[in-house]
Structure 1
């Protein structure tokens, strides 16, 4: 696949299923595929090793209704190893954070797909421009609920040549919160890509307590074995009231070995102390693909943020991982 079309393929896979999924059943009108990953991850921080191992299982189904219209369904659940936290210097095991990542069904045609359930919000395909690392990165790409993976959501996604558009609306499901997000991305044949998106949600008992707004813009360029990308975020009335930041990313592919690096910076613009950055870090990793299904990687993050939040800031982290896709 051309590298300048990778972003389009990723966006399309948001609603169509996993790239590694294996078809286990098919007839003249229907098909069923199962896929996922098993990923062992050992994270070393401040001398302690945390087991962040996880596995994902997904099931995708498609059934032709007419020659140009089809029904689809997708399910993905993630299972994690038991996590541990430090309390007064002692590691305490906590319950694993298993979750349904995606669960939706809908209808599709040459004009796009309309689905309902728990799905990826519309800004995910914009943050994917720079969210390319095996483990770290994406600290400047945090999204509000309506723009992230949310349940009780109705979405449309369409792919037209090199243009992908997506929009979703999240209904209030008792959380006193509803909103919407929309995004578009376009990739030129020369390898230059652009993306932009906007999200807004209302929170509170009467939906007027707080309005959260978020805008993202991204650009990328792929040439030969190199890939470069940048992401910019501008958010208002979120947890830090007014947040701005960016992520810069680069990737180099050398046969089966892939090197990636990112720089993340995120700040609260209402805070006069410039040292209190919400994120300020460099990260690098190396991934070796033994086969299309199996890879190993090493990832390191240099945390330069000076604010200490819950004892987790200003601590570098090293991660070793092995991942099998099926």
Structure 2
């Protein structure tokens, strides 16, 4: 199965006659004005963000904050580029890293988020390295708020920023198709996934994905579905996922989010998420966020997470957690 997906992806990239719409791989992590080099068919982009994030009352996981504020600030830097090989074939690469600041909870953390390189042809793009699996595009349909986005995180084969991943993306008019294969380094760590989103002309999008993989406790699989709607400054998305963590544990999750951006650059976002393993809640919260865009580079926001879990709940890793509400103040500069 894995060899077949790889062969199909490579064949698609090398394809001849046009069948796909114009498609650009995810190599620009900035605001589309951040090209630092362009010559002889090659383009280089530099992007990133500097973001202050301060949590009050409780941390994101519901644990108490001993002092006044927990510092969750971070800096991201990314570099990406493309090069034209022939009229129908080009190459691309992308790298992104994140550095968090030191807080009372522990040391600062450096993380390599993405590192991949690939080829793009008439029928799409295939890339190799640390990158998102196919199902992430479905999870993203409801991931528009501060605390949302964990629909993808149930199993390894459907998550983001995964090493040893071979991914295919093709865009055919209103249809976006993705496929991914994980060639795991350790025993029982292979996986694969497929997904598709179809966007109707009146702003409605429909998405469906499937992922499966191995782990030390058996086989894991996931079905994820999503729907979204866009109309002017209004956006809303809903996702539902279900599957098996291993041979013994089932999971379910659903997430809803809506956003409206006013003409004065103020936005309001509301969200709800519930995730369960074996019918026990591992997340259950409402979120309300207000944000203001000073311009395309600078954004300020305040987010309140209304935690609905019981005190002393047990999370997905078997750790007993508190269930405090959390307030986050943020100021983000993007370039």
Give the TM-score, by structure 2 length.
0.84
Query: Could you list the runs of 5+ residues in structure 1 that have no partner in the other structure?
Result: 1-11, 86-93
* Paired residues of 1:123 and 1:143 also in contact (CA < 8 A): no
In structure 2, how many angstroms separate the alpha carbons of the residues matched to 1:282 and 1:219?
19
**2:26 pairs with 4, 7, 15, which one?**
15
Name the counterpart of 2:126. 114
Is it true that 1:265 corresponds to 2:277 in the alignment? no
Name the counterpart of 2:300. 296
Query: Could you list the runs of 5+ residues in structure 2 that have no partner in the other structure?
Result: 1-22, 59-63
**1:81 pairs with 65, 76, 101, which one?**
101
Is it true that 1:225 corresponds to 2:233 in the alignment? yes
Matched ranges for 1:239-278 at <5 A: 241-255=249-263, 256-268=265-277, 270-271=278-279, 276-278=280-282
- Post-superposition shift, 1:138? 2.6
Aligned pair count reads: 297
Structure 1 runs of 4+ aligned residues shifted over 6 Å read none
Is it true that 1:158 corresponds to 2:162 in the alignment? no
In structure 1, how many angstroms separate the alpha carbons of the residues matched to 2:256 and 2:120?
35
- Post-superposition shift, 1:311? 5.2
Is it true that 1:42 corresponds to 2:54 in the alignment? yes
In structure 1, how many angstroms separate the alpha carbons of the residues matched to 2:249 and 2:320?
23
Matched ranges for 1:88-103 at <5 A: 94-103=106-115
Q: Per the alignment, in what secondary structure is the counterpart of residue 281 of structure 1?
A: strand
Q: Per the alignment, in what secondary structure is the counterpart of residue 15 of structure 1?
A: coil
In structure 2, how many angstroms separate the alpha carbons of the residues matched to 1:71 and 1:27?
15
- Post-superposition shift, 1:238? 4.2
**1:60 pairs with 80, 84, 89, which one?**
80
Q: Per the alignment, in what secondary structure is the counterpart of residue 29 of structure 2?
A: coil
**Cα gap change, 1:240/1:211 in structure 2, threshold over 3 Å: closer, same or farther?**
closer
- Post-superposition shift, 1:16? 3.2
Residues 209-267 of structure 1: CA deviation (Å, up to 9, x unaligned): 41000110000111232212111010213498111121111111112011111111122
- Post-superposition shift, 1:174? 2.5
